[in-house]
Structure 1
């Protein structure tokens, strides 16, 4: 009986720890946030240095955004949604911010620095989409 109680407690503690940590590490993307998607189209002969983008470029831009930034994500393109079709994007970087006007105010004085850094990781001109999270 005592062993059963100890095993039950151990199982409960393990589940609580695992699920508790999982919940703490997630960030909910809420309705009304502004999403800025920076998409890098795939094309023959174009290059993209994911390591530099992940460790240097995106953190630099995130610092410019300050407390307006909720979170950012980095995606690496691996395939098209249609079989036997070329990859549409090599990478997509996304910033979720609280305010579009604060985003624009933070980016404007730093746009030269951001654009000049492109040469360090890609020879692609990105497509930028600004949208609102609806769900």
Structure 2
């Protein structure tokens, strides 16, 4: 089911994202991908639309393992994006500190 998300001005297929895209990403990235979390924006500050429709948090042991996995698979993963959304993804690399 593709839904129009008014506040974002885009279309995003939540079902496809969770049931097809994320498993494909997991398979493509292999054992270097240690964990993947997906969250969907519900509400933003002041009861406004959230900043992001969805976020996938991909966990790797190191930047090297990230690049080893993602580099060769980037085109495959990016080619799937227009199937579930007409928006442009934003990528950020972060370090988890506890």
Mapped to 1, the partners of 2:27 and 2:84 lie a distance apart of 18
**Whose RCO is larger (CA < 8 A, sep 6+)?**
1
Count of residues in Structure 1 that have an aligned counterpart in Structure 2: 92
Return the match for 1:109 from 67, 72, 87: 72
Aligned equivalents of 1:98, 1:84: Cα separation in 2? 36
Which sections of structure 1, spanning at least 5 residues, go unmatched?
1-41
2:85 counterpart SS class: coil
TM score, norm. by length of structure 1: 0.63
2:71 equivalent to 1:88: no
1:31-110 superposed matches below 5 A = 43-44=8-9, 46-80=10-44, 82-110=45-73
Could you tell me the TM-score, scaled by structure 2's length?
0.84
Q: Could you list the runs of 4 or more consecutive aligned residues of structure 1 that deviate by over 6 angstroms after TM superposition? A: none
Aligned residues: CA RMSD: 1.4
Equivalent-residue separation in structure 2 for 1:119 and 1:91 (angstroms): 15
| Residue pair 2:29, 2:73 contacting (<8 A) in 1 also | no
| 1:99, distance to aligned residue in structure 2 (A) | 1.9
Query: Whose radius of gyration is greater, 1 or 2?
Result: 1
Unaligned stretches of 5+ residues in structure 2: 1-6
Q: Which residue of 2 aligns with 1:24?
A: none
Counterpart CA distance in 1 for 2:74 and 2:88 is 14
